[in-house]
C-alpha cells in the first residue's frame, strides 16, 4: 500500500486531502497537534524533528506523497508563532524528508496562500532572513509584531522556498509544487473572519465568485496536483 504523509491532517484542507487520499487506497499518516497519527508541535525544532522521525518510522521509510498543510492564521497575536509554524514547520519537514522522498520519487504539495502576494516585500529584511538567514534572525526581526503583519510574508517565503528547491528536487525525481488558496472555509479562515479587527480587513478583500471556497474544493485541486495528470508540473504555485 502506498504511503502518504499530511501535516495539518486533523482539520481544514489537510483533513479533506486525507479523506480523498484514503479513498484512493493510500495509507495516510497524519501529523497535527492532536487527533493525528503523529502528535507534534511544528512551532519548535524538537516538534519538527519528532514529526520527521515519526513519519519515517510509521511509513517504513517509504513516502509516496507528502502534503504540508499545517498552518496558523493572521488573526493570532503572536507573529513569531505563526512564522514558526507556517514557514519553518514546512521547510524543515521538506528538507528533513528529502532523501526519503527522492528514493520513492514522491509527489509533494505545500500550502502557501493568496495572501503571499498581498503587501509582502520580496526584498525586505524578513524575506531575506526566512530564505537565507536563520530562524533566530527572523524571530528577532518579527519581535512582538502581530501575526496580521507576518502571515502573508510567511506564506510568501513558503512559495519561494518551493520554487528554489524545484529544479534540484526535480532532478532527484521529486515532484514539488505549492497551492496558494484564496479565502477558504477552514478553522484558520473562520478565526480571521470572526476577529473583531482582522475580520474587517477580510471582508474588504474582493472574491470573484462572491463566496468562499470549501476546504474540499481546495483538496480537489491538490488531488489533481498529486495525480498522473499533473506529472509534468514542477515548481508551480497554483
Domain ranges of the chain: 3-230
Give the sheet arrangement for strand 65-68, strand by strand. Answer: 38-39, 27-32, 3-7, 65-68, 107-111, 175-179
Cell numbers standing for residue 97: 524528508
Which pTM was predicted?
A: 0.93
pLDDT at 42: 98
pLDDT at 193: 64
pLDDT at 211: 85
pLDDT at 60: 97
Q: In the annotation, is 26 catalytic?
A: no
**DSSP-based three-state secondary structure for 102:** helix
How is residue 29 annotated by DSSP?
E
pLDDT at 191: 63
- Helix or strand run (H / E) with residue 97: helix 89-103
CATH superfamily of 3-230: NAD(P)-binding Rossmann-like Domain (3.40.50.720)
In 3D space, the residue among 106, 107, 66 whose CA is nearest the CA of residue 226 turns out to be 107
pLDDT at 87: 98
pLDDT at 34: 95
pLDDT at 75: 81
pLDDT at 14: 97
pLDDT at 7: 98
pLDDT at 186: 74
pLDDT at 117: 81
pLDDT at 69: 97
pLDDT at 192: 61
- Of the listed 26, 87, 151, 232, which one is catalytic? 151
Along the 238 residues of the chain, how does pLDDT read in single tens digits?
A: 899 999 999 999 999 999 999 999 999 999 999 999 999 999 999 999 999 999 999 999 999 999 999 999 878 889 999 999 999 999 999 999 999 999 999 999 999 998 878 778 899 999 999 999 999 999 999 999 998 889 999 999 999 999 999 999 999 999 999 999 987 777 766 666 666 676 667 677 788 888 888 999 999 999 999 999 999 999 999 9
Amino acid at each position: 500500500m502506498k504511503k502518504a504523509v499530511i501535516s495539518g491532517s486533523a482539520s481544514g484542507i489537510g483533513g479533506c486531502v486525507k479523506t480523498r487520499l484514503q479513498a484512493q487506497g493510500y495509507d495516510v499518516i497524519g501529523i497535527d497537534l492532536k487527533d493525528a497519527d503523529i502528535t507534534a508541535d511544528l512551532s519548535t525544532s524538537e516538534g519538527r524533528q519528532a514529526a520527521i522521525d515519526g513519519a519515517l518510522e510509521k511509513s517504513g521509510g517509504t513516502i509516496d506523497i507528502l502534503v504540508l498543510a499545517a498552518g496558523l492564521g493572521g488573526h493570532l497575536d503572536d507573529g513569531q508563532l505563526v512564522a514558526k509554524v507556517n514557514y519553518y514547520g514546512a521547510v524543515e519537514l521538506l528538507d528533513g524528508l528529502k532523501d526519503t522522498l527522492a528514493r520513492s520519487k514522491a509527489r509533494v504539495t505545500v500550502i502557501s496562500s493568496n495572501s503571499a502576494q498581498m503587501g509582502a516585500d520580496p526584498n525586505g529584511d524578513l524575506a531575506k532572513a526566512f530564505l537565507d538567514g536563520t530562524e533566530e534572525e527572523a524571530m528577532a526581526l518579527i519581535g512582538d509584531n502581530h501575526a496580521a503583519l507576518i502571515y502573508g510574508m510567511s506564506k510568501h517565503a513558503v512559495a519561494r522556498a518551493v520554487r528554489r528547491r524545484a529544479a534540484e528536487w526535480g532532478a532527484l525525481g521529486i515532484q514539488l509544487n505549492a497551492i496558494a488558496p484564496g479565502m477558504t472555509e477552514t478553522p484558520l479562515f473562520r478565526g480571521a473572519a470572526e476577529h473583531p479587527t482582522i475580520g474587517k480587513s477580510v471582508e474588504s478583500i474582493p472574491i470573484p465568485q462572491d463566496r468562499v471556497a470549501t476546504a474540499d474544493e481546495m483538496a480537489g485541486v491538490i488531488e489533481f496536483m498529486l495525480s498522473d495528470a499533473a506529472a509534468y508540473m514542477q515548481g508551480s504555485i497554483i
